[in-house]
Structures are given as structure tokens and as C-alpha cells.
Amino acid sequence: MDFSSALPTFVITLREGVEAALVVGIVLACLKKAKASQLNPWVYAGVIAGIVASALVGLLFGVMIQALGTANQQYAPIIEPLLEGVFSVLAIIMLSWMLVWMTKQARFMKAQVEGAVSAALQNNSRAGWGVFSLIFIAVLREGFETVLFVVAKFQQGFIPALGALVGLGVAAGIGVLLFKWGVKINIRQFFRYMGILLLLIVAGLVVSSLGHFDTAINALAQMDRKSQSLCFYYERFAKVHSCVLGPIVWNTTKILPEDRFPGLLFNALFGYTDKLFLVQALGYGIFIITIGGIYFQSLADRVFFPFLKSRQSAKESVSSQRD
């Protein structure tokens, strides 16, 4: 059994899960400080409900994809790669947004979560539901992004989902180490390197999504004569070419085939392909330059989760602002 396809979902769920675990830890700390630990069960219920809701969303997407594929067997060669391409694009948008937006907003996370908890506690009659909603939305948001990525790779079966479960378990373990046992972990370095790894994974998803669209258009062109013009690359442009992705940039099938180790591992993790075409290369480069550039710029002045800093440094910052 090949477990290489579990690596990308493991990485994504680990990063997303740690982010959710930090929110849960902050909420539990706020409740303890406010002497409202009786609301802790609402926190745990929110975590479970968020995970279950994310799994149901993934199941719903899976059923929808299977139904569309079986409803029109004639067009299955078109529908399956087209759906993979669409879900890949959605996953690229969501994960890129999370990577860039959360990098900029991380410094305000503690204040935002504490404000939401304080607002919930002020409403004594609905404090439990307020805390539950806060945790549920946080977990569901992270879970939905992972679900989109797993669905984008639905042809790989159960293995990507297994990687997501393992990543979730490790993230929960990190949360326990941080808030229950007080173990010091360099969260700043963790999110920095995980962000770089996630950037490369999503960039690979750009390459594979373009490949899915090319496969779908090529199948349509072969099935319908009226659609043959969709494949606008011909031999007069290049001897080795794709339907819409242009001439081939490299062919490493003999050196590093994508269906054998270690090419299999690179393919699962970074979207490596032994046949890369021009449009795919351009898409990869544009993504790395734009999203990667924004991400590294935001890293330059990012403060990761200031609640992990000492109270003394916070006091010094406030006093310097007053001066």
C-alpha cells in the first residue's frame, strides 16, 4: 500500500490543527482565568462538532462527485478530471488565503479570541453556546480547507483521509503539550517552516490542477468533433505537446519517473510530474512569485502568537508606547 499520498494532507492538517489547537488553548485559559471552567465541556463539544461537520462536508462532496460520475458514464472521462481540477482550484484559493491572511492576522489572534470569550461570558444565559460557537467555527474553518484538498485528490482513495486523521492527532498532541503540560515549543519556527512546506504543496497543486483541465479538454475534443478546436496546440508548434498546456518543458520519465520512488514521493507531496508543459511551468512560477512573495514579506515583521511571550515584554511594549 502506497502511503505517499497521505503526506500532503498530513502536513496541511497538522498546520491547520495546531492553529485550531491554539484557539482552543486560549479559550480554555480565558475560562480558567475567569473562573468559568464549568464551560470547558462546551469547548470540547465544539471541537468534536467541528470535526464531525468537516467530515460530513467531505462525505457530501465525495457522494456528489460519485453521483456526477455515474450519472453520465459516457462523459466520465471528462467529468472526473474536470471535477478534480475545480476542487483543486478551490483548494488553492482557500489554502493560499489561509497562508497569507492568517500570517498577517496571527499577531491579533489572542486579542480577538479573548474578546470573543469575554463577550460570550457577559451573556450568562448563553455563555456556553457562545463558547461552543467560537470553537466550532474555528475548527470547521480549518477542517473545511483540509476537506477541499482531500476531495481534490479523491481518486487516491482513503489514504489522503488517513493522513489528515494522523495530522489531526499530532496537532492535538502538540496542543496538549503546550497548554496542559507547559512544554515549550518554538511555535514561530514551526509555523514558518510549515508555511514554506505548505506553499510548495499548493504550488504543486497548481501544476496538477492544470493537468486535470488539460485531460478533461483533451477527452472532450476526442469525443466530439465540434470540440476538436479546443486543443489548439498542433505539431507545427511543437512535436511533443499537450492539448492546451503548450509544448513540453522537460521529460524526466527515464531519469526520475513519477510512478516510482522517489518520484512518487515528490509527486504526492509537491505535485512533481515527469512531463511538465509550458503553461504548467508558468503557472507554478507565477504562484511562487506572487503568493510566495506576499507570504515572505508578511513573515518579515510577523509576531507569532504573542501570548507565548512573557508578561514582562508585553508590559515593556505598553510602557514604551505611552512614552
CA within 13 Å, CB half, 35:
0
d(CA 259, CA 268): 10
pLDDT of 312 higher than 90? no
pLDDT-derived band of residue 69, with 50, 70 and 90 as boundaries?
A: low
pLDDT value at position 322? Answer: 46
Mean pLDDT value of segment 166-179: 86
pLDDT value at position 156? Answer: 64
- The residue whose grid cell reads 477542517 is 143
pLDDT value at position 286? Answer: 95
b/e for 188-222, b at 16 or more Cβ within 10 A? eeebbebbebbbbbbbbbbbbbbbbbbbbbbbbbe
Contact 144, 57 (CB under 8 A): yes
pLDDT of 244 higher than 90? no
Question: What's the mean pLDDT when you consider all of the chain?
Answer: 79
Nearest by Cα to 175 from 306, 11, 27, 12: 27
pLDDT of 308 higher than 50? no
d(CA 92, CA 90): 5
pLDDT value at position 172? Answer: 87
For 223-268, give the DSSP string: H-GGGGGG----TTT-SSB-SSS-BEEEE-TTTS-TTSTTHHHHHH
d(CA 33, CA 28): 9
Nine-digit cell string for 65? 462527485
d(CA 232, CA 295): 35
pLDDT value at position 311? Answer: 39
Contact 258, 267 (CB under 8 A): yes
Instruction: Name every residue whose Cβ is closer than 8 Å to that of residue 83 and which is 6 or more positions away in sequence.
Output: 65, 68, 69, 154
Nearest by Cα to 4 from 200, 274, 269, 319: 269
pLDDT-derived band of residue 313, with 50, 70 and 90 as boundaries?
A: very low
Mean pLDDT value of segment 86-111: 79
The stretches of the chain forming alpha helices (DSSP H) are: 6-33, 40-71, 76-105, 109-122, 127-152, 159-179, 187-223, 263-270, 278-287, 293-300, 311-322
Query: What tens digit of pLDDT does each residue of 37-54 get?
Result: 888 899 999 999 998 998
pLDDT-derived band of residue 310, with 50, 70 and 90 as boundaries?
A: very low
pLDDT value at position 155? Answer: 62
pLDDT of 305 higher than 60? no
d(CA 212, CA 195): 25
Greater confidence (92 vs 6) lies with: 92
pLDDT value at position 239? Answer: 53
Give 124-131 contacts, CB < 8 A, sequence gap 24+. Answer: 127/36, 127/39, 128/39, 128/42, 129/42, 131/27, 131/31, 131/39, 131/42, 131/43, 131/46
Greater confidence (265 vs 108) lies with: 265
The listed range with the strongest mean pLDDT (114-118, 133-137, 265-269, 314-318) is 133-137
pLDDT value at position 1? Answer: 54
d(CA 302, CA 293): 14
